């Protein structure tokens, strides 16, 4: 139960950070915004870490199924960390994208919020690995709050933060990834 409260508090902190930015109605960085984001993400990570160490894994499924689910959890978590924390700053530096512009390369050229899918993979496979009703309640709450945060960012705060976000949004789909076309030869 502590994990659900901690994850909920983390997402509420992220929502407050976005609402503060929206309230200021500026492209300029807002004092404390990065701190609130880091604190929110830390609370979410703490909630999932707590549930991992408190997990009473169900013995109903075979060991190889649990191993696959744990591997999917780790893959989803690694891809989430990549898209949320590393891909954008590294890509902005590598491709010399001006500050204040939306990053539209890599996974962000397929959909505007690829981290949503990695968080869903991470949390759903974690809940299936754990195999408890509390685990499934946790992922439901977490993914619902994540979707709310993404809607708020996409509709209100990202257009404020990035000068080219509306153009980016007109070309790149919201959540359903744009698949590469197969070439006919």
- Whether 10 contacts 141, CB under 8 Å: no
Please report the pLDDT score of residue 179 as a whole number.
Answer: 77
- On the question of pLDDT at 16 being above 60, the answer is yes
Separation of CA 80 from chain center: 6
What are the backbone angles phi and psi of residue 137, rounded to the nearest 5°?
-65, -40
Indicate whether 122 belongs to any domain.
Answer: yes
CA distance 152 to 175: 14
Is residue 55 situated within a structural domain? yes
Query: What's the token pair of residue 43?
Result: 């609370």
177 in a domain, yes or no?
Answer: no
Residue 181 lies in a domain: no
Domain that holds residue 40: 2-171
Is residue 179 included in any domain, yes or no? no
Averaged over 159-176, what is the pLDDT? 94
Choice between 61 and 32, residue whose per-residue pLDDT is larger: 32
Indicate whether 176 belongs to any domain.
Answer: no
Q: How many domains does the chain have?
A: 1
In a domain, 139, yes or no: yes
For the CA atoms of 88, 110, 113, 119, the dihedral, rounded to the nearest 10 degrees, stands at -90
Q: Is residue 185 part of a domain?
A: no
CB 159 within 8 A of CB 165: yes
pLDDT in tens, 71-117: 999 999 999 999 999 999 999 999 999 999 999 999 999 999 999 99
- What average pLDDT does the structure give for the chain? 90
């Amino acid at each position: 139960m502590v994990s659900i409260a901690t994850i909920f508090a983390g997402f509420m902190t992220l929502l407050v950070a976005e609402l503060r930015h929206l309230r200021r109605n500026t492209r300029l960085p807002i004092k404390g915004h990065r701190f609130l984001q880091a604190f929110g993400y830390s609370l979410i990570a703490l909630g999932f870490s707590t549930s991992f160490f408190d997990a009473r894994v169900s013995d109903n499924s075979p060991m190889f199924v649990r191993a696959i689910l744990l591997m999917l959890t780790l893959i989803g978590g690694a891809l989430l960390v990549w898209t949320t924390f590393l891909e954008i700053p590294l890509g902005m530096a590598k491709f010399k994208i001006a500050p204040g512009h939306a990053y539209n390369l890599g996974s962000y050229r397929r959909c505007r919020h690829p981290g949503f899918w990695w968080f869903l993979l991470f949390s759903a496979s974690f809940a299936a690995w754990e195999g408890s009703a509390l685990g499934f309640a946790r992922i439901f709450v977490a993914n619902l709050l994540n979707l709310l945060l993404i809607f708020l960012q996409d509709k209100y705060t990202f257009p404020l933060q990035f000068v080219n976000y509306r153009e980016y949004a007109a070309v790149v789909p919201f959540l359903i990834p744009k698949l590469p076309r197969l070439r006919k030869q």
